[in-house]
Structure 1
Amino acid sequence: MINDRLIDAGELPIAIRDFGGDHPPLLLLHGAGANLAHLTGLARALRPHHRVITLDLRGHGRSGDGAWTWDAGLGDLAAVTVQMELDRPPAVVGHSFGGMLATLWGQRHPESPGVVNLDGNPPPTRPGQLPGLDPEKATAELARLTATFDAMQAAIGHTFPTADLPDLVERQRAAARDAGANEKIWIEGFRRNVVSKDGKTTVRPDPATTATMRTLMNDIDLGPVYTTTPTPTLTVLATRNMPAQEPFADLYAAHRRHLLDEAEAAAKANPRLHYFSLENATHAMPLEQPDFLASLISDFLRGATRGA
């Protein structure tokens, strides 16, 4: 039985979806700007082996608004774990921003059976993170990328007449078809972030939340976390660009080399850290390969438990 409910996290409610069952528990975390519905395909694929609990991060979906810090996000996960009265510590799996949060959870919670980070990596911010790219070109490309992200951020959170919502939903249906995604899941994900009141509609997260989360991602360095984490950790890396990344193809290819180098170095320094380059996968890997990822995640967590 799938159950939706709100968890009292103290300063705000956290919306969760519990897929039920008596298998080992697993918290599944979405990325910035998404919500729990976006991971439905992966959650379903994981359900035969885990009691999957997805949640809306603060400021997203049906969860409440609150200032974003890594500590606040980890506190929300702790509240979910306690109030769901799980019979054992959960594994934590996250995509993108959620993957970074999962990695930090593993650093602080050695009792966790394992964490998996699905391409949750800070964006490139300096030429040193772009090996093989000419430094002058790297600087120019980083400036161009920052400008693109600035423009995207400026477009987020605008209010529009609710009467325009049906047309926007149809555009989302077309986008789902173009992406080859499950249309029902895509639309639920879009609608879950929509808030309508007094004839006006906005799409969550709001501009302030988006700006704060972007700063958190830019500033974090996962290298030291990977080399010191006491929890079995798997980081899954993308191997190709999404269409939106193609204008920066050289930059992202160089950054993927950096991420692979970082993962290799961390794995040598810390036997609890493992990495996997997912063939023919973009950053949107949970939508592209949910069944394979579910198998990879379940196999890793079983192995981690046996190793313990």
Structure 2
Amino acid sequence: MIHDRLVEAGSVQLAVRDFGGERAPLVLLHGAGGNLAQMTTLARALREGFRVVTMDLRGHGRSADGDWSWDAALGDLAAVCVELALDRPAIVGDGLGGMVAALWGQRHPESPGVVSLDGNPPPSRVEQLPGMDPEKAAAELARLESAFDVIEASAGADIPADELADLVERQRMAARDMGANEKVWIEGFRRNLVHTREGRTSVRPSAWTTSQLRELIGGLDLGPVYAATTCPELVVLPTRNAPEQESFGELYTAYRDHLVEQVRTAGRLRYLSLADASSAMVIEQPAALASVITGFLTGER
């Protein structure tokens, strides 16, 4: 049985979906701008071997807003684990959720394992782009920052009522293009919509949350985190660009080389470059990821 519930984490109420079962607990964390619905297909693929729980991170989906910090996110995760009696859960996160998973692993050596699905900050320094001409690399990084500025500026903007139906239809088309479960995709889209009594509609996360996340993620250095982690840890890396990264193709290709070198030299950390996968791997290859995660956490791989 699947149950949706709310969990209190201090002043922030968190939306949680429990897929049930009596097996070892596993918590799935979504990426920035997403919500728990976007982890549904992966959760279903994993529920045969685990008790799977998903949650909306603060400021996303049906969870309340609250100041964002890594400590706050880890506190939210701990509150969910306590409320649902999840003893020594494995943590698997996508994107932003992968960064939270890595930090959880650093602080919880007793964890049976953490898995990061491309949980990496975006490139921000020339030295992270091996093989690129330094001058071109600097120019591309500046262009990327400008693109992020545009995204941040549009975060939380109102959607005119007469445009909402067309926007939903475009989401359906995007789901078909990605080969994703259309029902799950639309649930994920609708779950981030905010409707006010005044008849206004906007998309979460808000501009406030987006700004906080951008600053937090930009300041995160995972090298020391990996070095200090003693519980089993797996990082799954993409091998190609997502559609939205194509205009920065050379930059992201170079950055993937940097990430491989970073995890390759991180001691106990294990990593996998997933064939034909982009940063949208949770949507593209849920069955393959479920197999990788299960094998890693059960010691079969």
Q: TM-score by structure 2 length?
A: 0.97
Shift of 1:202: 0.8
Distance in 1 of aligned mates of 2:112 and 2:99 = 17
1:119 corresponds to: 118
Pairing of 1:284-299 with structure 2 (within 5 A): 284-299=280-295
Shift of 1:114: 0.5
1:107 corresponds to: 106
1:195 corresponds to: 194
Amino acid across the alignment from 1:301: L
Task: Identify which range, 26-35 or 193-202, moves more after superposition.
Answer: 193-202
Shift of 1:165: 2.0
Distance in 1 of aligned mates of 2:36 and 2:190 = 12
1:28 corresponds to: 28
1:60 corresponds to: 60
SS of 1:220's partner is coil
2:279 corresponds to: 283
Q: Does 1:303 align with 2:299?
A: yes
Shift of 1:172: 1.0
How many correspondences in the alignment? 300
Amino acid across the alignment from 1:279: A
Any gaps of 5 or more consecutive residues in structure 1? Answer: none
Distance in 2 of aligned mates of 1:118 and 1:280 = 14
Amino acid across the alignment from 2:221: D
Q: 1:2–1:20: 8 Å Cα contact kept in structure 2?
A: yes
Q: Does 1:169 align with 2:165?
A: no
Distance in 2 of aligned mates of 1:165 and 1:242 = 25
Amino acid across the alignment from 1:211: S
Q: 2:178–2:283: 8 Å Cα contact kept in structure 1?
A: no
Distance in 1 of aligned mates of 2:150 and 2:194 = 22
SS of 2:299's partner is helix
Shift of 1:166: 1.8
Q: Does 1:239 align with 2:235?
A: no
Q: 2:38–2:185: 8 Å Cα contact kept in structure 1?
A: yes
Amino acid across the alignment from 1:276: L
Shift of 1:168: 1.6
SS of 2:209's partner is helix
Q: 1:163–1:199: 8 Å Cα contact kept in structure 2?
A: no
Shift of 1:181: 1.5
Distance in 2 of aligned mates of 1:243 and 1:196 = 30
Q: 2:178–2:284: 8 Å Cα contact kept in structure 1?
A: no
Q: 2:15–2:56: 8 Å Cα contact kept in structure 1?
A: yes
Any gaps of 5 or more consecutive residues in structure 2? Answer: none
Shift of 1:167: 2.1
Distance in 2 of aligned mates of 1:143 and 1:286 = 29
1:44 corresponds to: 44
Q: Does 1:254 align with 2:250?
A: no
SS of 1:151's partner is helix
Distance in 2 of aligned mates of 1:211 and 1:8 = 24
Supply the RMSD in Å over aligned alpha carbons: 1.2
1:78 corresponds to: 78
Distance in 1 of aligned mates of 2:194 and 2:137 = 40
Q: Does 1:211 align with 2:207?
A: no
Amino acid across the alignment from 2:285: Q
SS of 1:65's partner is coil
Shift of 1:112: 1.0
Q: 2:125–2:141: 8 Å Cα contact kept in structure 1?
A: yes
Amino acid across the alignment from 1:49: G
Amino acid across the alignment from 1:99: G
2:265 corresponds to: 265
Distance in 2 of aligned mates of 1:252 and 1:132 = 12
Q: Percent identity?
A: 61
Distance in 1 of aligned mates of 2:169 and 2:237 = 32
SS of 1:160's partner is coil
Distance in 1 of aligned mates of 2:69 and 2:112 = 24
Shift of 1:164: 3.1
Q: TM-score by structure 1 length?
A: 0.95
Shift of 1:163: 4.3
Shift of 1:204: 0.5
Shift of 1:110: 1.1
Distance in 1 of aligned mates of 2:130 and 2:160 = 46
Distance in 2 of aligned mates of 1:83 and 1:163 = 41
Distance in 1 of aligned mates of 2:160 and 2:150 = 22
SS of 2:7's partner is strand
- Map Cα deviations across residues 5-35 of structure 1 (whole Å, 9 max, x no partner): 0001111111000000011000100000000
Distance in 2 of aligned mates of 1:40 and 1:26 = 13
Distance in 2 of aligned mates of 1:219 and 1:2 = 37
Amino acid across the alignment from 2:56: D
Q: 1:162–1:196: 8 Å Cα contact kept in structure 2?
A: no
